[in-house]
Structure 1
Amino acid sequence: MDRTNLLPIGQFAQASGLSVTALRHYDASGLLAPALVDPDSGYRYFRRDQLRTAQLIRALRQLGIPIEQVRGLIARSEGGEDIAPALRDHLGAAERRLEVQRSVVHSLLSRLTEGAEMTHGVTIRQGAAVRALVRSATLDRPGLDRFMLPAYREMYAVAGQGPLTFAGPAFARYHGLCDEENECLVEACLPFTTGGAQPAELPDGMYVLDIPETAYAFTEVTGEAATFPRIHTAYDAVANWVTEHGFVFAGPVQEIFRHWTGTPGHPENRLEIAWPIGEPAAG
């Protein structure tokens, strides 16, 4: 092959801003193959017109985009597709992650200096048996934001057809940790009385759940403290209290909407974190 239009890997590395090691790695992963590999020396050569691709790869990797996604973006770009919308989506996701990290750091600093128990007093109350309309889904935190409002709107519409008599504020049950990296089963619940009208036909995916009478350890959060991820401090405070006082966890934790304005962080928002508890078994 005529090598007049080729750059040896060292020069190509300098021009592209990628190390020789990175170029070898991208070759092995099929992301950026050299135009020529000398059969005797194994030395790699790249075409001059591959430089722009290499620079784009460098920029995408600097954004923390995984190689598999970079491969797809490169293919789309070389196919003439505009990848600007994908980059804007990535930027938006990065900004959301940064905001979450900033909030987590502030919450952690507050916990280290004040202690979660100083901020969130935990008490016990006996909870009556509850019957509720339920919509459930297994999702992460971004999915939760898209799930909750439509779920409650649908349940309120069904309740109005009964009409059902509400027995308390709406609440959600979390069967695990639900954040940016973890999915869990979430149940959006709308409680109604057992002595009045009962739902007849329910849409697919909606069901009735009976929650037995039990004791709860709970704390209240308001305003900014009720926003994600700061609200995790309240969850931790209740969990620590239950553990330290010798109780057992008797079911999924509940997030009860005592007063919700519809705007996260509103000073009038008032939520309770309530964990079902039981006495430890003898022995």
Structure 2
Amino acid sequence: MAEGLIPIGRFSRMSRLSIKALRFYDDQGLLAPAWVDPASGYRYYRRGQAARAEAIRVLRAVDMPVGEIRDLLADDDQELIGKRLSAHRERLRARLAEQERMLRFLERLIDRGGDLMSDEVTVKMVAPVTVASLTVRAGLVTIGEAVRQGFGTIIGSIGTAGASPAGAPFLIYHDVLEEGAEGDVEICIPVTGGMAGSREVPGGTVASIVHRGPYAEIAPAYHVVTGWIEENGSTPSGPPREIYLNDPQSVTPDELLTEVQFPIEGDR
């Protein structure tokens, strides 16, 4: 064993990283030990590696993904490093703004006894619609990015096929998205013409309500509609849909309009 090497236990205390974390960062290619005993597999580090360990610890403390940390630490271009840090800073600011908005929403929900919906549930007939669609597997954390990418992919396919969008885009939730569980979400854009690969979403009777406000605050709309269905003895006949009635690029989050539809059996 070379001189000046520090056992993993001592290096853990120096770096304020647990032994488990050090092993993980080694596996991820972030912080390899200076030497590994071939007989015991025990890891040893050099004192000079403490600075890299501290950088990793701080970056993980501000929720930078491991892959991005790997790229940042591998880069010698200070300008590019600065850009990477600025991009992550903006993500943190956006996340903080979203969390603050959710806290304000929670306060209003508590103040109003859990009822934020001023509009009544309406029952109506909707016509079948031909859509270009893409089904993605996503969870509560990943749904936003999956939908953004999915809509981009579909728009590209529509353009390539020479078709045109013909209505408000919407999602069909084939599964319930729960904490720690993923489900299938179908991203749909109505189209004109006989676009290859398109499909028809069936029409029928729906129970509907329009939510006004940020997408992240839409949960009460679902509660109201499902409560109405139960109270009125109706039966859901298909997965719920979220129809986006205006463009998030042209209105503020508080002005967003989203229609929540639950297909139900029969006419009312």
Report 1:125-204 matches (<5 A): 125-138=123-136, 140-148=143-151, 151=154, 154=158, 158-159=163-164, 169-175=167-173, 176=175, 182=182, 184-190=184-190, 199-200=193-194, 202=195, 204=196
CA distance in 1, matches of 2:49, 2:248: 55
SS of the residue aligned with 1:278?
A: coil
Aligned amino acid, residue 102 of structure 1: E
CA distance in 2, matches of 1:32, 1:184: 39
State whether residues 116 and 236 of structure 1, in contact with CA within 8 Å, keep that contact through their aligned partners in structure 2: no
1:234 aligns with 2:182: no
Does residue 73 in structure 1 map to residue 105 in structure 2? no
The aligned counterpart of 1:97 is: 95
TM-score w.r.t. length of structure 2 = 0.68
How high is the TM-score relative to the length of structure 1? Answer: 0.65
Mapped partners of 2:59, 2:149: distance in 1: 28
**1:119 Cα offset (Å):** 2.4
- CA–CA distance in 1 between the matches of 2:248 and 2:7? 64
Larger-gyration structure (1/2): 1
The question of whether the paired residues in 2 share the 8 Å contact of 1:116 and 1:237 is answered with: no
Count, aligned residues: 250
Superimposed CA distance per residue, residues 204-242 of structure 1 (whole angstroms, 9 cap, x where no aligned partner): 54x14151322x2222233xx1x2212333233223332
CA shift for structure 1 position 149: 6.3
Residue 95 to residue 178, structure 1, CA distance change in 2 (3 Å): farther
5+ residue gaps, structure 1: 161-165, 193-198
The share of aligned pairs that are identical, in percent, is: 20
Q: Please tell me whether the aligned partners of residues 136 and 186 of structure 1 are also in contact (alpha carbons under 8 angstroms).
A: yes
Matched, 1:47 2:46: yes
CA gap of 1:104–1:47, structure 2 versus 1, over 3 A, is: same
Q: Is the contact made by 2:125 and 2:204 (CA closer than 8 Å) also made in structure 1?
A: yes
> CA 1:136/1:252 → structure 2, altered by over 3 Å: closer, same or farther?
same
CA distance in 1, matches of 2:123, 2:93: 40
Q: What RMSD, in angstroms, separates the aligned Cα atoms of the two structures?
A: 4.2
In the alignment, what sits opposite 2:22?
26
5+ residue gaps, structure 2, are 138-142
Change (3 A) 1:9 1:261: closer
Question: Separation in 1 of the partners of 2:44 and 2:170?
Answer: 59
